[in-house]
Amino acid sequence: MPLNSRNWLAGLAVAGFALANQPAFAKESPAEPVEIGSLSGAFLAARIAEVDNDLNGAIAYYKRALSFDPTNQQLQQSLMLGLISQGRFDEALPYADKLKEVPDVERFSRLALAVDSFKKKDYTKAEYWLKLSLESDLDRLITGLMTAWAKTGGGSPKDALAHLDKLDGPEWYKIFVAYHRALIAEGAGMNAEADKAYKATVDDITAGSAAPETWLRAAEAYAGFLAREGKKDEALKVLDKSDEFSVGRPAVAELRTEIRKGMPIPPLVQGPTEGATEIFLNLGTALNRGGGEAFVRLYLQYALALEPKSDIVLMQLASVAEQQEQPEEAIALYGKISKGSSMKRVAELQRGLNLADLKRHDQAITQLKALLEAAPDDMRGYLALGGVYASKEDYRSAADLYDKAVARLPNPTAENWNIFYQRGIANERLKQWPKAEPNFRKALELFPDQPQVMNYLGYSWVDMNINLDEGLKMIQKAVDLRPSDGYIVDSLGWAYYRLGKYEDAVRELERAVSLKPDDPVLNDHLGDAYWRAGRQLEATFQWTHARDMKPEPDVLASVQKKLAEGLPPLEPKAALGTPAPTAPEVKQQAPAADKKTETETPAAPETATIIPAAYKVQPGQSLWSIAADKLGNGNRYIEILNLNPQLQGDPGRIVPGQELKLPEPVN
């Protein structure tokens, strides 16, 4: 079962984006390719390296290909993007200059030249480079915001704000434009205008749910602004509001302490270069939804070119490296976080978890133990070290560690739910259910309706043939809250399977596989359900598919046996709850991100106009429950997702008070 310690920790540092969970070894490449004697051979080798996320190798092979065809613009373009994505910005500039008039790539080439002009404080030249012949909505937002900062750098902040007034676009523009308006106005001493813009940004909860990291950055900037204005209580209220988006965020905790102590609070963004960096950071984090890692990485490298020591950018790049299965690179990036940063401890914990992903468990344990000894009341240390023990299947050590953590929590709060959840898992794996169940219940007491906990507890009950009604209802509620989580949906389908409700099992397991098609266990489960539902041909296909996904050895052996023999006949009068022939695997939230292939030019995300709202979300609702209540079928939640681009395909982004467009109900 994959564990989530790294994901949870990184979320505290960089607004909770789901990160990759099981990175593989990073690939080392020679500075120059060897034994490539043709253009086609070098190009093919470069493409293969790209597919493997081996950017150094791809760069070397593209250089080799260009030696055969020096004027080939496609090769120049691929090489330029590879160099920027790998942080070799200065090497990319000559290629950006060669491609500055090529419409299909100018969004990247001219952007690189504009970044270089910002670094040189040549803002007039930067404005020139920011004029594109072809622009998507995203391109227009980037160039518009950067032009405003260039005008600010040129000494014309009023012109900058006027430029932002003319920046028309989709509804999702609002949070970015308002936030940067506030930053520019504050920097120009236009405090009334800044206050108005900051307030508009943090009051827009709907926009905040679509771009949470940008909203959180705006809240931090606003709190600092209010503190500098002598409005300490108002500043603290803004930070309290930010806790609703991300509990325990280190930057917020540090800022809250500084404000309470009356310490001087510098502006979050100071000057045009930092403003331009903020643009790339904001959009990079907003686009980081899985599958777009190559695109996100490119923008974050633009930001790092502007501010090479930016801790928040380094943290984000490290998380992308994890998503792209490059733990060595992630370790190196975490190591660059400055010693005095509020993110330093999280970075060190993340480094330990990446060491464990590289199977360097002893080194990981040594590092994490040292961090834990240095701050024995920091629960993040227990979660990180416990996660390493669990990855080794050393559940005894994990359980003992969590016992020590709980002993240091005389008055646990909502943010401590994960300690009890992980202790419950460790004891359940040790087959000590009387110790495990109270921990799951305590986790739910601290964080009612937490989907992961309800999923694990509910399924465990069904698996043990106890509390069947309550367990099934608990899993169903977890699905209502996380309808797009393939693993939780799988638990519901597998619970139906264990209860002998095979048609229901097929329905839910088909949905689970559609949500997470690359997981062999989910495909194996669906094969079992098909077999019991009398659909043997489909079962065989599904098991074959699971086998070809290279599952863990125990799953592979089970699948091969079923392909050879099928499932054994059910015993006569099999009761509901009779254990099924194949043991299930209970999954946790946020498994490994899908491995994607990079293209030569990362395609800009599609944008759409937000459709006018028609329904206001009520407290406790999910997209599934809204679809079930208003449309008569919970499965229609996907239609609501499609009609509301501000959700960016993530049902978990809805918040009370948010307005949504609903499709017409079916009579």
Nearest CA-CA partner of 485 in 248, 222, 250, 290: 290
> What distances in angstroms separate CA 542 from CA 223, 301, 521, 560, 639, one per listed residue?
54, 41, 10, 12, 27
- As a whole number, mean pLDDT of residues 371-391 equals 95
- Provide mean pLDDT across the span 55-74: 93
Residue 195 backbone dihedrals phi, psi, to 5 degrees: -60, -45
Distance CA 607, CA 646 (A): 10
Nearest CA to 364 among 384, 347, 337, 393?
Answer: 384
- Look at 318-322, 357-361, 451-455, 585-589 and tell me which has the smallest mean pLDDT: 585-589
| Partners of 616 in the β-ladder | 659
Of the chain, the percentage scoring pLDDT greater than 90 comes to 66
**Boundaries of every domain in the chain:** 615-660
**pLDDT value at position 415?**
86
pLDDT digits (tens, 9 = 90+) for 101-112: 998 899 999 999
Average pLDDT over residues 548-562: 93
| Residue 582 main-chain phi, psi, to 5 deg | -110, 130
pLDDT tens-place string over residues 274-286 = 999 999 999 999 8
- Predicted pLDDT of residue 500: 92
The pLDDT of residue 85 is 93
477-526 per-position pLDDT tens digit? 999 998 888 999 999 999 999 999 999 999 999 999 998 888 999 999 99
- For 615-660, give the CATH class: alpha beta
Q: Which residues contact 537 (CB under 8 A, 6 or more apart)?
A: none
pLDDT range class, residue 588, cuts 50, 70, 90: very low
pLDDT at 599 > cutoff 50:
no
Most confident of 84-93, 292-301, 618-627, 647-656: 84-93
Secondary structure (3-state) at 616: strand
What does the pLDDT read at residue 11?
Answer: 34
Q: Which of 17-21, 230-234, 497-501 bottoms out in mean pLDDT, i.e. has the lowest?
A: 17-21
User: Quick one: pLDDT at residue 249?
Assistant: 83
Could you tell me which residues come within 8 angstroms of residue 140 by beta carbon, excluding any fewer than 6 positions away? Answer: 167, 169
**Mean pLDDT of the 173-180 span:** 95
Q: Where are the alpha helices (DSSP H) in 243-310?
A: 250-260, 272-287, 293-306
Higher pLDDT, 490 or 667: 490
Q: What percent of the chain has pLDDT over 70?
A: 84
What's residue 577's pLDDT? 43
- Report pLDDT for 291: 60
How many residues in total does the chain contain?
A: 667
pTM across the whole model? 0.74
pLDDT above 60: residue 9: no
With 0-12 / 13-18 / 19 or more C-beta atoms within 10 angstroms meaning exposed / middle / buried, residue 665 is exposed
- C-alpha distances out from residue 155 to 116, 193, 272, 377, 532, Å: 19, 17, 10, 49, 73
Averaged over 56-83, what is the pLDDT? 93
User: How far is Cα 230 from Cα 242, in angstroms, rounded to an integer?
Assistant: 20
pLDDT for residue 527 is more than 80: yes
* Contact present, 343 and 250 (Cβ < 8 Å): yes
> Could you please report the per-residue DSSP string of 114-134?
HHHHHHTT-HHHHHHHT--SS
Tell me if 624 sits within 8 A of 644, measured CB to CB. no
- If you compute the radius of gyration of the chain from its CA atoms, what whole number of angstroms results? 26
